[in-house]
């Protein structure tokens, strides 16, 4: 139960990097000799490489990555290796290692989120002129551009990137030099080591530094929201690829067949991404539950914060990567989407807006439009199939120009406000995002993929 080496071996590179910087600083400060520091530096690299390559076996009796490295270092270089731990504790050592690992893993997640945003922008560019039903309550509501729909998810993942970067900023301080809880008597150059390790600064309270896992909780919270957004997108992909909707297809790379029913093509990768949400949200719950009852400073309970941190970041990163691939692979059935836009009275609001343009109060115009929808349903037709006499029977202010309002494309393009789905607004947003994401100048052409 005490051993953590089965999972904290992930910290091998961070641990050796931190130890090398610590040893060089000790030599600069005159705490150990330059010769010992050089031997430590050389030995640490050799131990790291041997452990990573499997030439040295991990020993669970040594409990964790830190003791595995230090014990092998002492075996390799002798007494010089015993001087490495001068001025530090495993408490500030693991806190430093975790921050180094978390920063690197989080930057990888940020990069993958950028790839997913780019995939969504590219798919949106290909479908500037593809209309699809927009939904509320999973009921067809109003027509929108498919590009606008993809860009809605782009917004979510852009916010996710910001949250992860924000969490990285708070993880970007070095606890090394905090000791077990009260610092050390040795003249450590904390700022110099922090700079060498790529930290923006050092922690300001040794008690907090060794007991703090807020950076892990915050990163995992960001991962949980990433996974929630991925799950929402995955749910749409599952629905779109169903025979009931038939809006889209995924290739065999992201689907699988049934072991019994040869006609089946299941969107398994989307379902797995959706399913992993509970795992990442659970990691966040584990973290806050572990930390909520801990007195200052270090407690062994903090070992239990490592696995949720690793799992959440690794799961979210893999899920983002797979989702970017699915978006790139996705083929929309443009004709089926067009038929769906023409079914279900999606332009009913246009009738109300038309009457408002004639001076009718919106609530009255809404009632008239609702009456006409019921008439169309009773007759089994769409609104555009009602005659002008039918329309005027509901309100005499309807005129022949109303039919231009019932064209779905015109209905979308009348919504010409910032953030709305009119073509000029969508194209302008695509151009802005392509510049931001370094996608180059894309031609305004719908590839219809």
From 137, 259, 387, 443, the catalytic residue: 137
Is 331 a residue whose pLDDT tops 60? yes
Residue 228 CB partners (closer than 8 Å, separation 6+): 277, 281
pLDDT in tens, 261-286: 766 789 999 999 999 999 999 999 99
Beta bridge partners of 331: 249
Query: How many of the other CB atoms lie within 10 Å of CB of 322?
Result: 20
DSSP state of 420: S
Q: Residue 407, CB half-sphere, CA atoms under 13 Å: how many?
A: 7
Class at the top of the CATH hierarchy for domain 340-436: mainly alpha
pLDDT in tens, 204-232: 999 999 999 999 999 999 999 999 999 99
The model's confidence at residue 447, banded by pLDDT at 50, 70 and 90, is very low
> Could you tell me the two tokens for 103?
């920063």
Integer angstrom CA distances of residue 79 from 36, 84, 198, 363, 413: 9, 10, 29, 86, 77
The model's confidence at residue 446, banded by pLDDT at 50, 70 and 90, is very low
The model's confidence at residue 132, banded by pLDDT at 50, 70 and 90, is very high
130 or 2: which leads in pLDDT: 130
Rounded to whole angstroms, how far apart are CA atoms 413 and 112? 33
Is 56 a residue whose pLDDT tops 90? yes
From 33, 242, 251, 258, the catalytic residue: 258
Rounded to whole angstroms, how far apart are CA atoms 21 and 92? 14
CATH number for region 5-86: 1.10.275.10
Residue 438 CB partners (closer than 8 Å, separation 6+): none
pLDDT, average across residues 356-382: 97
Rounded to whole angstroms, how far apart are CA atoms 235 and 138? 12
pLDDT in tens, 82-98: 999 999 999 999 999 99
pLDDT, average across residues 62-89: 97
Tell me the chain's radius of gyration from C-alpha atoms.
30
Q: What is the pLDDT of residue 448?
A: 44
Q: What is the pLDDT of residue 449?
A: 45
Per-domain residue ranges for the chain? Answer: 5-86, 91-129+144-332, 340-436
Tell me the three state secondary structure of residue 249.
Answer: strand
pLDDT, average across residues 224-252: 97
Tell me the three state secondary structure of residue 201.
Answer: strand
Of 257-266, 299-308, 380-389, minimum mean pLDDT range = 257-266
DSSP state of 142: E
Is 445 a residue whose pLDDT tops 50? no
Alpha helix (H) residue ranges in 172-304: 190-196, 206-211, 214-240, 268-275, 277-291
Q: What is the pLDDT of residue 329?
A: 97
pLDDT, average across residues 346-363: 96
137 is catalytic: yes
Q: With CA atoms as reference, report the closest residue to 348 among 401, 402, 399, 413.
A: 402
Rounded to whole angstroms, how far apart are CA atoms 192 and 198? 10
Q: Residue 176, CB half-sphere, CA atoms under 13 Å: how many?
A: 35
Q: What is the pLDDT of residue 440?
A: 75
> Could you tell me the two tokens for 291?
């930390």
243 burial class (0-12, 13-18, 19+ CB within 10 angstroms)? Answer: exposed
Q: Are 8 and 21 in contact (CB under 8 A)?
A: no
Q: What is the pLDDT of residue 443?
A: 43
Rounded to whole angstroms, how far apart are CA atoms 237 and 231? 10
Q: What is the pLDDT of residue 441?
A: 53
Torsion sign (Cα): 378, 380, 383, 385: negative
> Could you tell me the two tokens for 263?
């006609």
Q: With CA atoms as reference, report the closest residue to 147 among 332, 271, 343, 324.
A: 332
Q: Are 288 and 81 in contact (CB under 8 A)?
A: no
292 burial class (0-12, 13-18, 19+ CB within 10 angstroms)? Answer: exposed
The model's confidence at residue 74, banded by pLDDT at 50, 70 and 90, is very high
Q: Does the global pTM surpass 0.85?
A: yes
Rounded to whole angstroms, how far apart are CA atoms 124 and 119? 8
Rounded to whole angstroms, how far apart are CA atoms 186 and 334? 70
Rounded to whole angstroms, how far apart are CA atoms 361 and 131? 29
Q: With CA atoms as reference, report the closest residue to 172 among 205, 188, 194.
A: 194
Rounded to whole angstroms, how far apart are CA atoms 72 and 417? 65
Of 58-62, 64-68, 445-449, minimum mean pLDDT range = 445-449
DSSP string, 125-137: HHTTT-EEEEEET
Q: What is the pLDDT of residue 256?
A: 83
Q: What is the pLDDT of residue 262?
A: 62
Is 50 a residue whose pLDDT tops 90? yes
410 burial class (0-12, 13-18, 19+ CB within 10 angstroms)? Answer: middle
258 is catalytic: yes
Tell me the three state secondary structure of residue 87.
Answer: coil
Is 242 a residue whose pLDDT tops 70? yes
5-86 and 91-129+144-332 have identical folds? no
Task: For the chain, give the percent of residues with pLDDT over 90.
Answer: 95
Integer angstrom CA distances of residue 302 from 75, 350, 435: 29, 59, 43
Is 442 a residue whose pLDDT tops 90? no
Beta bridge partners of 14: none
The third-level CATH classification (topology) of the domain covering 91-129+144-332 is Fumarase C; Chain A, domain 2 (1.20.200)
Mean pLDDT taken over the chain:
95
């Amino acid at each position: 139960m005490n051993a953590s080496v089965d999972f904290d071996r992930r910290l091998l590179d961070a641990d050796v990097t931190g130890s090398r910087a610590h040893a060089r600083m000790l030599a600069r400060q005159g705490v150990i000799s330059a010769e010992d520091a050089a031997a430590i530096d050389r030995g640490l690299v050799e131990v790291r490489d041997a452990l990573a390559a499997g030439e040295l076996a991990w020993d669970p009796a040594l409990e964790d990555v830190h003791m595995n490295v230090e014990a092998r270092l002492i075996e390799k270089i002798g007494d010089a290796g015993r001087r490495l731990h001068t001025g530090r504790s495993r408490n500030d050592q693991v806190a430093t290692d975790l921050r180094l690992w978390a920063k690197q893993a989080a930057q990888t997640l940020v990069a993958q989120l950028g790839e997913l945003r780019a995939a969504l922008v590219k798919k949106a560019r290909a479908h500037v002129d593809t209309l699809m039903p927009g939904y509320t309550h999973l009921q067809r509501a109003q027509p929108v551009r498919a590009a606008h729909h993809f860009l809605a998810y782009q917004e979510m993942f852009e916010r996710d990137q910001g949250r992860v970067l924000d969490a990285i900023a708070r993880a970007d301080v070095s606890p090394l030099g905090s000791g077990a809880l009260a610092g050390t008597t040795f003249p450590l150059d904390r700022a110099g080591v922090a700079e060498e390790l790529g930290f923006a600064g050092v922690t300001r309270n040794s008690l907090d530094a060794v007991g703090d896992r807020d950076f892990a909780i915050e990163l995992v919270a960001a991962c949980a929201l990433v996974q929630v957004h991925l799950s929402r997108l995955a749910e749409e992909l599952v629905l779109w690829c169903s025979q009931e909707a038939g809006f889209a297809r995924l290739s065999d790379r992201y689907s699988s067949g049934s072991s019994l029913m040869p006609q089946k093509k299941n969107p398994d990768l989307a379902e797995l991404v959706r399913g992993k949400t509970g795992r990442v949200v659970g990691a966040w719950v584990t973290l806050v539950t572990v930390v909520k009852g801990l007195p200052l400073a270090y407690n062994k309970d903090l070992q239990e914060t490592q696995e949720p941190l690793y799992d959440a970041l690794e799961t979210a990163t893999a899920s983002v990567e797979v989702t970017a691939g699915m978006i790139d692979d996705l083929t929309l059935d443009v004709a089926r989407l067009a038929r769906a836009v023409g079914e279900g009275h999606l332009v009913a609001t246009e009738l109300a807006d038309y009457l408002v343009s004639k001076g009718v109060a919106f609530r009255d115009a809404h009632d008239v439009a609702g009456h006409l929808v019921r008439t169309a349903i009773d007759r089994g037709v769409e609104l555009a199939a009602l005659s002008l006499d039918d329309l005027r029977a509901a309100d005499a202010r309807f005129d022949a120009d109303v039919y231009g309002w019932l064209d779905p494309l015109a209905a979308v393009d009348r919504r010409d406000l910032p953030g709305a789905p009119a073509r000029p607004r969508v194209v302008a947003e695509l151009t802005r995002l392509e510049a931001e994401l370094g996608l180059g100048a894309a031609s305004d052409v719908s590839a219809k993929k």
